[in-house]
Amino acid sequence: MGLINSQNAPMIEAFPGGPAFLTTIDTVINWARSNSLWPLTFGTSCCAIEVMMAAGAANHDLARFGAEVARASPRQADLLVLAGTIVKRMGPTLQTLYAQMAEPKYVIATGACAISGGPFIYQSYSTVRGAHELIPVDVIVPGCPPRPEAFFYGLLTLQKMIREGESIRRPGERRKPVLAALPPGITIDQIRQELILNLEEKSVTKPLNEHAKMENLTWKI
Amino acid sequence: MEITGMTAATMSNTEVPVSSLDERIKFFQNEPQSALATQEYFVNMGPQHPSTHGVLRLVLKMDGETVREIIPVLGYVHRGMEKKAEYIGYRQQVHLTDRLDYLCALMNNWVMADAVERAMKIELNDRILTLRTIFAELQRIQSHQLWWGVFGMDLGAFTPFLYGFRDREKITAIFEDTMGARLTMNYIQPGGLMYDIHPEFPRKVKDFLKYFKPILNEYDELFTGNVIVHQRLKGIGILDGKTAISVGASGPVLRASGVSYDLRKSDPYGVYSKTQFEVPVGTTGDCWDRYIVRMQEMRESIRIVEQLIDNIPEGPTMVMKFGAKIRIPEGIYYNQMETARGILGVMLVADGTEKPYRLHFRTPNFNNLWSVISMAKGLRLADLVAILSSVDIVVPDIDR
């Protein structure tokens, strides 16, 4: 489909019947893209067992959704499944991996750690509070770790997003489905402020006098 | 084509050895103008690499395809677990241990719960101890099934992966009935177990054992007898017992080197002292021995579960119900157990409050990783993959 791209799309649209033609082309391209997602073999911790391995193995069979061709090189992959905790040291590597992946590329963040820091959101000096701080995330799958079925639901959501949200007229632009709404009267800024206050309160520094009384301890076992 | 090296060697009138290919390669490598003359260089293996089982980074000093030196660079999943442990109560520590070595989550839970119980001097009844032992052994089988599948995949065979996971899902389903979780169970609590077992649990475990015993022979037919597997594993990555002890290796890695040290035998906990089982020990300590030791361990685990599953004693599954706050008397406590990968130790420094002053995990994978360095020196890069897989490394357990 290299003949029709974002440069000549406005030109085609000007012709009579052009918009309908472009929409048909969109449908074909999006159908092909959504059913041939190639994931990158990238797992940092526990979620990789459930999401990448158990989902890809015989019982759950990721091949039913056309996403079983796991690639070890980011240049051959277009789906990045963030399975596990992202720590600060891993951050630059993750950004490099994302940059090396072929366009158009999609990211699914699975598990509590990749979404928000999870169990390590407070009182940890090394965890990144959610992978969206480093790279754009399309779909999140909650759980610690999520079941393979939950991951399939996330994958189907991504496929739906690709089929409905993308157009050759606006490359790179994605329409994201609304998954949850905030309660009335609460804004996202209020939540962020509260989170910042919590993070400051639960930092990992102890008062010095706490260490002094520990000098005379003895082994009990 | 690069043939100048060959001609240079022949023109200098030195005798080219004709006896063996290895000698000829060695001869041409030493000739400075030869095409086979090599230069040392560095290669980064990881952090994103499919064979490092996560985000382990190894900086390799290579000479051609020969590994000269290995420098592990750690910290790519360092989550600050030990620091976080200082801010949460003793009951909450159990859920952190799930995420250490997630393939033996129940055994990790047990170590932590047992450390608190020993400090509080709580006596458990037989039902709890028997159930904990059964769960630990089922988890050992499950962990080794996953290792077997991934081991095959690392050596280039995809079929074992499918077979291993097919059978692993059966144990996962048994766990899910009782605990409601598939991977991070958080089931063994200080003072007992979180819930009673599912009424169908004994029957399902017996069904599984009946199903899995012939499957182990199928594993052998599929993989163990393969000629390629023999050639990839035999004599590769030899670790002698002395080095294994000096780096602090434990579990199947240590036992494959001929050191018969298993905490289940030497310092029995749970109801292991009441059961009959053998500790499989290797002779040379190569990849093949580590493979065979793990395959035998699965058979021994089946034996242990078979002895216990028919007579689970009656009684409560929680002898002491703790509130949110547990206060441990001041002191330093250490507790260790044998997980599927080796000895997991927990050191608690209690200051009399409801939170530990310091908590340290002695994880098996951290020590097993250093045994890889002495094993892989002088071997090919492809052998390093086989060695890493035979040691069965879980990276979040190393970095914590």
Q: How far apart (Å, rounded) are the C-alpha atoms in residues B244 and B257?
A: 7
Mean pLDDT of B40-58: 81
Q: How far apart (Å, rounded) are the C-alpha atoms in residues B320 and B120?
A: 11
Mean pLDDT of B223-232: 87
pLDDT at A213: 57
**Is the pLDDT score of B21 beyond 80?**
no
pLDDT mean across residues, chain B? 85
Mean pLDDT of B91-119: 88
Q: pLDDT tens for residues A117-156?
A: 888 888 888 888 888 888 888 888 888 889 899 999 888 8
Mean pLDDT of B72-84: 87
CB contact under 8 A, A144 and B184: yes
pLDDT at B87: 85
CB A137 within 8 A of CB A131: yes
Enumerate residues 6+ apart whose C-beta is below 8 A from A75. A100, A101, A102
CB contact under 8 A, B396 and A217: no
Per-residue confidence band for B25, with pLDDT thresholds at 50, 70 and 90:
confident
Per-residue confidence band for B79, with pLDDT thresholds at 50, 70 and 90:
confident
Please tell me whether residue A103 adopts helix, strand or coil conformation: coil
- Ordered structural domains, chain A, with CATH: 38-155 (3.40.50.12280)
Chosen for mutation from A41, A47, A52, A59 (greatest number of chain B CBs closer than 10 Å) is: A59
CB A56 within 8 A of CB A197: no
Chain B positions touching A206 (Cβ under 8 A) are 86
Mean pLDDT of B155-175: 89
- The rounded percent of chain A whose pLDDT value lies above 90 is 0
Q: How far apart (Å, rounded) are the C-alpha atoms in residues A80 and A100?
A: 11
Q: pLDDT tens for residues B237-257?
A: 888 888 889 998 998 999 999
> Is pTM, for the whole model, over 0.90?
no
CA angle, A166 as apex, A165 and A169 as ends, to 5°?
130
Q: Name the token pair of B111.
A: 């170590």
ipTM: 0.81
pLDDT at B331: 85
Distance from CA of B134 to the nearest CA of A (A): 23
Number of Cβ pairs < 8 A linking chain A and chain B: 138
The CATH number of domain B83-399, selected from 1.20.1070.10, 1.10.645.10, 2.40.50.140, 3.40.1440.10: 1.10.645.10
* Stretch among A14-18, A169-173, B114-118, B355-359 having the lowest mean pLDDT: A169-173
Q: Name the token pair of B298.
A: 């699965």
Per-residue confidence band for B7, with pLDDT thresholds at 50, 70 and 90:
very low
Quick one: closest CA in A to B169, which residue? A59
CB contact under 8 A, A93 and B48: yes
pLDDT at B353: 85
Q: How far apart (Å, rounded) are the C-alpha atoms in residues B103 and B138?
A: 11
Which helix (H) or strand (E) segment is A159 a member of? helix A148-165
pLDDT at B121: 86
Q: How far apart (Å, rounded) are the C-alpha atoms in residues B348 and B346?
A: 6
The residue with greater pLDDT, B324 or A67, is A67
pLDDT at A138: 84
Residue whose entry in the numeric block shows the structure tokens 């041939």: A36
pLDDT at B13: 54
Enumerate residues 6+ apart whose C-beta is below 8 A from A110. A47, A51, A81, A82, A83, A140, A141, A143, A145, A146, A151, A154
- The rounded percent of chain B whose pLDDT value lies above 70 is 92
Which helix (H) or strand (E) segment is A139 a member of? strand A139-141
**Integer CA distances (angstroms), A155 to A6, A10, A62, A149, B93, in order:** 27, 32, 10, 10, 33
Query: Which residues of chain A approach chain B closer than 8 Å at the C-beta?
Result: 41-46, 48-50, 53-54, 57-59, 72, 74, 84-85, 87, 89-90, 93, 97, 119-120, 122-127, 144-145, 147, 202, 204, 206, 213-214, 217-221
pLDDT at B11: 47
Q: Residue A1: is it exposed, middle or buried by C-beta count within 10 angstroms (0-12/13-18/19+)? A: exposed
Q: pLDDT tens for residues A46-56?
A: 888 888 888 88
Mean pLDDT of A167-192: 71
Per 3-state DSSP, what percentage of chain B is helix, strand, and coil (rounded to 5)? 50, 15, 35
For residue B253, give the nearest of B294, B311, B206 by alpha carbon.
B294
CB contact under 8 A, A125 and B83: yes
CB B113 within 8 A of CB B94: yes
pLDDT at A71: 84
pLDDT at A180: 59
CB B361 within 8 A of CB B382: no
pLDDT at A142: 87
Q: pLDDT tens for residues A89-126?
A: 888 888 888 888 887 888 999 988 888 888 888 888 88
**Integer CA distances (angstroms), B201 to B68, B145, B214, B274, B312, in order:** 51, 20, 21, 22, 11
pLDDT at B33: 64
Q: pLDDT tens for residues B334-354?
A: 989 999 888 999 998 888 888
Chain B positions touching A68 (Cβ under 8 A) are none
pLDDT at A36: 86
pLDDT at B8: 45
- Residue spans of the domains in chain B: they are 1-37, 83-399
Mean pLDDT of B55-83: 87
**Is the pLDDT score of B117 beyond 80?**
yes
- The rounded percent of chain B whose pLDDT value lies above 90 is 20
CB A55 within 8 A of CB A195: no
